[in-house]
Structure 1
């Protein structure tokens, strides 16, 4: 046994420390960070508004909301009210002070973060005795339609829809997935297009304007692995992270698999030696319109965090590294307009990173104040 332990490969950099700077040319500065709690808790979900109000869900089933002001994070409120595991938190795309949460108690809640925060609405199916433990949710880009995806309940996995103004569901789909639904993601600009992912290994693309589930299902894409995370990269491309930390890119208009990157390839692209320690956080489209995957390593103290860019030739190239990171990262939010990355994770730390060009030009804070002023000028009642 001792020989096995002694011979076990240790994850390490595949290049010398001085060479890392040459490989990872994109520079990010740690703008600010905040420890959400000193208790043994971790952040599992993160969402943000355009004015950089940040909502995080913690492992104790609470939600904390922060506002980024210049170079500091100010706590706005703490929200709690779910009886079972909190699985998703999503900010309203139109109303800066509203956010939604979903949990395994079968409830979707709407919260108002003003005046210390309160739950102003609960969405549930009162006519159905069967509790649907929700694993994920999202809201359409116009802020009108909610969708939550459930675990498998008596051989059915449910996608349930609501008009955000009415607590009774509009309807649901339950024939398209055969296992727990892990992701629901509305298109960034088309309110009717929805991508869903499941443990059954399928990504389903729906047009929710159709009258029946069969008509709504545009494509059923076989990932051949359980879906962990979905991200819309542009008008038609979806990125899928699998539960074995592989990465796939799909064309949702043609149904074609465009590219696949294995965990081993991603590990090599971030210059680490042991693929089994590599984990993927998320994918996003960066300020220069390249597709970026944020990845880290469980090896050592678990603080290695780097990104790789999908080059035009189909290869992954080293992009950025974050030497000031102090945790294993579980979620992130990227603001393309500001070239700002927000990360959160197992140490319950929220870290805000700013691209070096944006920091030097001092454009970030001007854009924050401009967007906040615009929000205040265009307020309307959501409910």
Structure 2
């Protein structure tokens, strides 16, 4: 038995340290980090705002809110009130001080982070209805509609909708997914467009302005694996990370898969030797417009965290994030400020930023040319006495 473990391959880099810097040209430094708890707690949800407020849900059921000031993370408030795990945390896209959270006890809460984190509204169904444990949450880009996705309840998985001003739901869908709903993501610019992902292997695209669920369902796209993460990359392209750590990109207007990147391809692109240790975190659109995948490895000391650019035919090495100390479970990217935030199993919030460009060297002072005037013939000299 000992020989089996002795011969087990250890994940490691496939290139030398010096070559990594050449292969991964984009440079991000660890700006600051914060441990949210001294207990053995991990962070499973993360969201942020343009003003760089950050909210994380911790495995003990609490929610921590921080604000990035220069190079420090300052705590704004700590929120508690959900029974059990928190299914999602999302800031209002219109008001940075308002935060929504969903719990597995079937309640969505609205918090005002200015008032020491008080709950100002609860969204739930009628008291006599079956409790729907919510796994995910999102808010439309205009801030008006809230959507939460539930676990399977008596053979149905529910998408429940609320108007932000009303505690009772607008309605729900329950025929389009047959297993736990793991992701709900509104389009970044179209408040009526919603993408959902489930353990049933489907990504569904809805137009929620339609009167019925059947009319609202535009596409039911077969991912052929449980959906773990879902993100909008641009106006029509959505990225899906599966439970088996594969990545797919889809054209949501045509209903076609654009690209599929297997786990072993991702491992090769981040220059690791053992693809079974590779994991995918999330996909996002960078400031330069590139579609980027963040991935890491459990192998070695677990510090490997890198990003690659999604090319037409292959993945191109982009960034290696030196200084990571944990297995990363989720990330959030602020495009305008080019800041990446990662969190994970170590219970640490890490903020990554591109180093400032070096100041241009001062221009050399201009050298004045001396002009020697010719003396005029016959000119009188003045004596100094």
Task: Please give the range of the TM-score, normalised by the shorter of the 2 chains.
Answer: over 0.9
Q: Which has the larger radius of gyration?
A: 2
CA distance in 1, matches of 2:148, 2:159: 6
Cα distance in 1, alignment partners of residues 42 and 201 from structure 2: 28
Structure 2 residue matching 1:360: 3-state secondary structure = coil
SS in 1 for 2:357: helix
User: Aligned partners of 1:88, 1:335: CA distance in 2, in Å?
Assistant: 19
The CA deviation string for residues 31-84 of structure 1, in whole angstroms up to 9 with x for no partner, is: 111111111101111100110000000000000000111111110000000112
Partner in structure 2 of residue 209 of structure 1:
209
Give per-residue Cα distances to partners, 1:295-338, cap 9 Å, x unaligned: 00011221110001112x32101100011111111111111111
Looking at structure 2, the residues matched to 58 and 305 of structure 1 have their Cα atoms a distance apart, in angstroms, of: 21
Q: Distance in 1 between matches of 2:348 and 2:51?
A: 20
The residue aligned with 1:55 is: 55
Q: Residues 1-383 of structure 1: matches in 2 within 5 Å?
A: 1-126=1-126, 128-311=128-311, 313-356=312-355, 359-360=356-357
Q: Secondary structure at the match of 2:215?
A: helix
Runs of 4+ in structure 1 off by over 4 angstroms are: none
Q: Residue 372 of structure 1 corresponds to which residue in structure 2?
A: none
Instruction: Give the deviation of 1:241 after TM superposition.
Output: 0.2
TM-score by length of 2: 0.92
Question: Where does the alignment leave 5 or more consecutive residues of structure 2 unmatched?
Answer: 360-385
Give SS of 1:82's match.
coil
Structure 1-normalised TM-score?
A: 0.92
- Retained in 1: the 8 A contact 2:30–2:322? no
Question: Residue 153 of structure 1: CA displacement?
Answer: 0.4
| 1:360 CA drift (Å) | 2.4
More helix by share: 1
1:377 corresponds to: none
Task: Count matched residues.
Answer: 359
Gaps of 5+ in 1: 363-383
Deviation at 1:339, TM superposition (A): 1.1
Q: How far is the alpha carbon of 1:117 from its aligned partner?
A: 0.8
Q: CA deviation at 1:127?
A: 5.1
